[in-house]
Amino acid sequence: MLIAVRPATELPRLRADRLWDSIHESAAIGATADGGLCRLALTAEDGLARRRFMEWSEAAGCVATVDQIGNIFCRRIGCEPALPAVAIGSHLDTQISAGRYDGVLGVMAGLEIARALNDAGIGTRRSIDVVSWTNEEGARFPLPMMGSAVFAGQLGLEEALAATDADGTSVREALAEIGFVGEEPVGSRALDSYFELHIEQGPLLDAAGIDVGVVDGAVPSRAFSVKLRGETAHAGATPMELRRNALAAGGRVIAAVDAIGRGHGWDGRSTTTRMRVWPNLTGIVPSEVDLAVDMRHSSAPELGRMVTELHDACSEVTEETRVDIDIQPAYSFGGFSFDRACVALVDQAARELGASRRRMLSQAGHDAYNLALVSPTAMIFCPCRDGRTHNPSEEVDEARAWPSVETLMRAVVARADR
């Protein structure tokens, strides 16, 4: 298909029906009985969704390329193909109990922009890459935002490929199984800029009736691996004062983590997200508990105080229970601002559209965080009902989300033609 016709002096007309149809068709892959979506990274369902996205992109005249970590780049070639491309992206994988818009909206909005440019016969000066990043959620394989982290040089390719799921399957094996071991070296393509549209995943835009979230930056987030070690004993015969019950101690730590977030204002967030217990059998006092703890605050010093409180709480629990506790950093992200020019461009696009908008920080992790390290980057949020997400009841009022899609298109076309 010949695309590059003339520079974009006009804007294409996006088709809402086509975008939402694509999202709903995608939601049939990995659909769950409760109306939600389970499409864990690199499963057969993820493979199907990836293939469908590539077919649609190729039908829209894009050239699809897969890199060695399975990131998919669908390029709509611009009038000056030697210039670095403007990228639009997000992810197609989901949490285990998810909705249909988280991630998918950003990828499909990029596809709709390519389709609409084709309809109008508009060629942009720079190419446009529509990107789907591998394993954004980190739900099956550890390390969220994996594909974009490798792309940005934050995570080694070999380390990422060697990561395993709960069954011991590695990313390398899973990529091969679904046929997504690409040849392009990861991070080898230079990008002019990166734009990501995502549902807010919080309640602010919905509650305030605002159309577009212009994301200034990312809330600092830190995750920890907390290991508790006591000793096994008989659940009946061992007197209480002789026990070193790791699960009882773990319960105290979990309660303390919840209290820490509550004690740091509206922006304080702290969660124990995962627990592993050993031996996890009836009749025996548990000796080992591993917890995953996630802490976030818009203020880095406040977050620092929250982390200190976690250490203090664990010391107290050790004193009370004689269970040893080791706290290790797992990962951290956020705590930066997006590119000023790209954010201003998004803000201007929303303003030209007449959309109501709010400057805000992102509370959740996104691939854009990694891209911001290697390319000028901006994010756009759209409202989602009551801020519910990572849940089958995740819902987007499509009319209310539409201004954010238009904003994305205007910002990307302007940037690609600059």
Nearest to 290 by CA among 270, 279, 275: 275
Distance between CA atoms of residues 401 and 395, nearest Å: 11
C-beta of 44: minimal distance to Zn ion in Å? Answer: 21
- 343 CB contacts (<8 Å, ≥6 apart)? 214, 215, 216, 337, 378
Q: Report the residue number whose CB is nearest to Zn ion.
A: 103
Q: Nearer to Zn ion by C-beta: 102 or 294?
A: 102
Q: Nearer to Zn ion by C-beta: 105 or 413?
A: 105
C-beta of 41: minimal distance to Zn ion in Å? Answer: 12
Binding mask 325-344 for Zn ion (x = CB under 5 A): --------------------
Q: Nearer to Zn ion by C-beta: 347 or 394?
A: 394
C-beta of 414: minimal distance to Zn ion in Å? Answer: 25
Distance between CA atoms of residues 72 and 374, nearest Å: 18
Q: Nearer to Zn ion by C-beta: 4 or 143?
A: 143
C-beta of 395: minimal distance to Zn ion in Å? Answer: 15
Cα angle for residues 358, 360, 361 (degrees, 5° grid): 165
Q: What distances in angstroms separate CA 270 from CA 11, 250, 265, 362, 381, one per listed residue?
A: 44, 15, 12, 16, 23
Q: Which of residues 102-141 bind Zn ion (CB under 5 A)?
A: 102-103
Which residues make beta-bridge pairs with 271?
Answer: 294
- Residues in contact with Zn ion, total (CB under 5 A)? 2
Q: Nearer to Zn ion by C-beta: 20 or 381?
A: 381
Cα angle for residues 276, 281, 285 (degrees, 5° grid): 85
C-beta of 311: minimal distance to Zn ion in Å? Answer: 30
CB 375 within 8 A of CB 87: yes
C-beta of 92: minimal distance to Zn ion in Å? Answer: 10
Q: Nearer to Zn ion by C-beta: 104 or 253?
A: 104
Q: Which of residues 49-108 bind Zn ion (CB under 5 A)?
A: 102-103
Residues that bind Zn ion (CB under 5 A): 102-103
